[in-house]
Structure formats: C-alpha cells, structure tokens
Amino acid sequence: MLLSRKSLTPRRCLYLASLFCCLVLLAAAHWWWLAHLPIRQLWMPSGIAELLVFLIILVTLVFTQMVDLPKPIYLLLTLGFSLWVMSAGVDVMDEITRQPLWLATWGEDMVRVVGMAITALGFFRLLEHFVRVQGQLEQLAHFDPLTQLGNRRFFQMQAERMQDEGLSLLMLDLDHFKAVNDNLGHSAGDAVLRDLGALLGRSSAPGYPVRLGGEEFAVLLPAMAEDELLHYAEALRLAVAKRLAPQLELTVSIGAATLLPGEGLDGLLSRTDKALYMAKHGGRNQVALAQREEPPLWRQGR
C-alpha cells in the first residue's frame, strides 16, 4: 500500500507535533498581540477559501509523512509543505485580524513562494524517481536478468506484435548443458548462458533473441522463406559452435518454423518445439525445419 501508518515513525510524529505547536503559537500571537488591530470575518467566502487551502496543504503534508520516499525527496517535500502550510496559516489569520504589512509580506508571500518552490523541486525529483522505477520494473518484467535478453513475456508480446506481418521462429537449446553445470559448477553454467545471450544479441539481426527459460532460447524473425530460414539458422548454429566457449566445445540444436496462413502463435510454437525435439533426437548440433503436415526436413550440421 502506498500510504502506510508504519512510515509514520516516532520522529515523524514528533515533527508533526512540533509543526502543530508552531501553528498554535501563530494563532495565539494573532489572538493576543494583534487583537488591537481591526477584527475581520473568517466566515466570508475568501476566508473559507483560505481555510480550505490551509487544510488541503496540511493534509498533504501529513500524507507525505505516511509514504516511504527516498530521503532527499522526503526532506524537500516536508520542508516545502511546512513553509507553505505556515504561510497558509498566516493567510487564514489575516482573515481574522488585520496584519502589519511586514507580516503580510514576509510571513505570508515570501514564505509561500519559497515553500512552493521547494515543494515543486520535490515533485520534480519525485517524478524523476517514478520514471526511473517504472523503467526498472519494465526491465524486470520483460528482460531476463542473467542474459539481458527479452524473457518469455517479452517474447509473447513481440510475437503478437509481429504476427500480422508474418514471422519465423527459431528455438535453440544448448546440447548437454547439464554436463557444464555438473563438471564446472553452476556459476560456470551461468557464464555460458550469459555468453550465449551476448552472442545471440550480436548475431540475430534483424531478429529478436529471447531467453525462454533454462538453457532454451528463441529468435523471432520477420517471415522468411524456408531456404532463407534454414540458411540463417545454420549460420547461427555454426556461430555458437565456433565462438561460444570454444574450449568446452558446446553446440546447440535448433528448431525452425515460419507461421503458416491461418495459424496461431500456439501452433507455430508447437511445431517449432517439435522440430527442436527432432533436432535433439537426431543427434543434436543440427537444425530441423518444421512443416505443417509432413515430418521435419533434416539438415545435418556436423
């Protein structure tokens, strides 16, 4: 929850209590020291409007104390609202008793201008903070933290976006990756996945490489003819065999498919997945092209 009483720490309560005391002192000063000046009516429309302004700023200040904000933003908003609420208090008092000019000028106008300026600065900082946090959330929601590639959600969004124009899909799965983890440890396995992500990022233009999960990756491509798609996938397979941790001699199996007329994304995914399965069971380190009715065409890569 945005507003939480937990944020209202004893220190913040003490601060609010001090501010309340200042406001009471301000009212008392007007009552006793300025009582000789002509008394005005608070219950005129302008008086009620000023009372409302005072209350709105006061309530906003209290709410500010109930939100967990970065400290510099919290301090700016609290200082700005405090000055502003004091000036609004002086403004309300002005409706009860006439004030000397110095008080109306310095206690009201100047303090209000400074308070509003500091509050505005606090709000700019707050907006900057929200935009930054929004970017971070977007990154977390759509990108895989290990490889920095898009994740499954990004894949789904991007595939839906490209669907109308037609699209081709490659699904890639590292061969015998478990052995890397088992022999060299999980962090070595992570490093391999990171390197594969970087390699796909460099080699997948004009496609969108994503990590679907584990050691399974995909590349979304604009629709390609079968020959072209095979050629592209083959180049990617060779790039992995040649450049991904050469000392480990890692390879990748690839399933490839192009969206057929009237076919949905689920159909495309299922065909590509089957083609990948066939590539694995055909001996790995190869590309298999999926077709609608017929069994996959094989392309031996060794």
Nearer of residues 100 and 213 to ligand GTP, judged by Cβ: 213
- Beta strands 297-299 and 287-289 are antiparallel
Q: Is 100 in the site for ligand GTP (CB under 6 A)?
A: no
By CB under 6 A, residue 177 contacts ligand GTP: yes
> In the complex, what is the shortest distance from the CB of residue 183 to ligand GTP, in angstroms, rounded to a whole number?
11
CA distance to 52, 252, 255, per residue, from 216 (Å): 61, 10, 11
DSSP 38: P
**Number of alpha helices (DSSP H) and beta strands (DSSP E) in the chain:** 10, 6
Distance in Å, CB of 187 to ligand GTP, minimum: 7
270 binds ligand GTP (CB under 6 A): no
Cα dist from 182 to 82, 127, 172, 179, 241, whole Å: 61, 47, 21, 5, 20
215 is catalytic: yes
Structure tokens at 88: 């609004």
Pick the stretch among 69-77, 176-184, 201-209, 241-249 that binds ligand GTP (CB under 6 A).
176-184
User: Which residues inside 136-155 make contact with ligand GTP, applying CB under 6 A?
Assistant: 146
The residues near 216 (Cβ < 8 Å, ≥ 6 apart) are 171, 172, 173
- Could you give the CA distance from residue 256 to residue 167 in angstroms, rounded to a whole number? 11
Choosing from 108, 165, 215, 263, the catalytic residue is 215
Q: Which of 190, 195, 234, 263 binds ligand GTP (CB under 6 A)?
A: 190
Stretch in the footprint of ligand GTP (CB under 6 A) among 10-18, 87-95, 168-176, 261-269:
168-176
Residue 214 touches ligand GTP, criterion: CB under 6 A: yes
**9 closest CA partner among 68, 55, 59:** 68
Q: With binding defined as CB under 6 A, does residue 189 bind ligand GTP?
A: yes
Query: Which residues are marked as active site?
Result: 215
Residues that bind ligand GTP (CB under 6 A): 146, 173-178, 181, 186, 189-190, 193, 214-215, 280, 284
